[in-house]
Structure 1
Amino acid sequence: MRKTLLIAALFAFAGSAFAAPVTYKIDPNHTSVIAQWSHFGFSNPSANFGKADGVIVYDAQNVSASKVEVTLPLEGLNSFVADFDEHLRSADFFDAAKYPAATFKSTKVEAAGEGKLKVTGNLTIKDITKPVVLDVTLNKAADQPMAKRAAIGFDATATVSRTEFGVGKYAPAVSDEVKLRITTEALVPKAE
């Protein structure tokens, strides 16, 4: 009996040690990328970069094999003020007619404690690419009860300098520093 339990435990360990990374498709309906900044010190407005599209590959056994690629179409930009949305999409800021999307592609994923990750990657806005580090918390990895398939969820934060990306109008009076808060849910794609 003892030998059988030991063999079963070894097989279970071997199976988990060689578990493959899982690929998830970002769910844009349950993903928000919120940018927030100081407006002359009077208020701290925010805008949501909605309609996120991308893939998360997560390897729980070897987090360094994980990766993320996200596209944020600027048509989804929403500050809840239509005139301001148009101003943000204008050549004064994102110039969305010429550069219709921002992208993030990870270059390194590291464990940073229990349920925590550091994700380093390249953020590209207006064809300007700069490294950004996301502080990430794994919220949950399990079957999603409504979709009835595997899902994963993360929260992340980062701070970026908007002038580095050519979006520096009115800086520094309107803060150059922009805080990013991200929450995302991603699902294993449906079998075809």
Structure 2
Amino acid sequence: MNRHPNDGDQETGSDLRTVGRDRHGRRVDGRRRTRAARLVPFPPVVIAAALTAPVCVPTVPTARQYPPANPDTRMRLNLTGATLIDFDLASGHVTQANFDKATFIGEADFDEATFSEDANFDGAAFTEGVGFGAATFTGDVGLGGAVVVNPAAQHVWPEGWRLETTPEGTAHLAREETDGGPATGSLTGSGGPTAVP
């Protein structure tokens, strides 16, 4: 084993600074640092984590996979005045929802959603298609003053509501007529769930 004369056990910083002043001393100093770095072992936890880390393989979902709605879950949404982009609550279960004066940009999907209490959309604005297909409402549904910017887009509204086009080319939601006159107020549930076809 070839050892350099300055390759002794020099622990103090003053010895290393002295060794590093000349050309030969700087190489020795560099060798010591390299040797010290190579001899420091990795902690066992890091090695074990590297050996047992799961391989992440991205998957492409083929269909929506939601857990079944749990009626005991009491999720309440209050998105009053919110701006929602491509909002999707399809197959969701909400106890109470408040979307008053919310703006829905893009598609708004409530297909097969369950609202076990009130659902308010008063003064909401919808820019594209809206779907409430097969949605279930147990409480009141309020859509008074809701505006639809693109009435030509595909829409499915809750039972009892229809779209009325304005001269400006937009539309608003109105209650369907009952007993010869327009209905007023919100759509009230009749004690049981109401499903939108």
Determine if the TM-score, normalized by the shorter chain, exceeds 0.5: no
**Comparing both structures, which one devotes a greater share of its residues to strand?**
1
Tell me which of the two structures has the higher relative contact order, counting C-alpha pairs closer than 8 angstroms and 6 or more residues apart. Answer: 1
**TM-score, length-scaled by structure 1:** 0.21
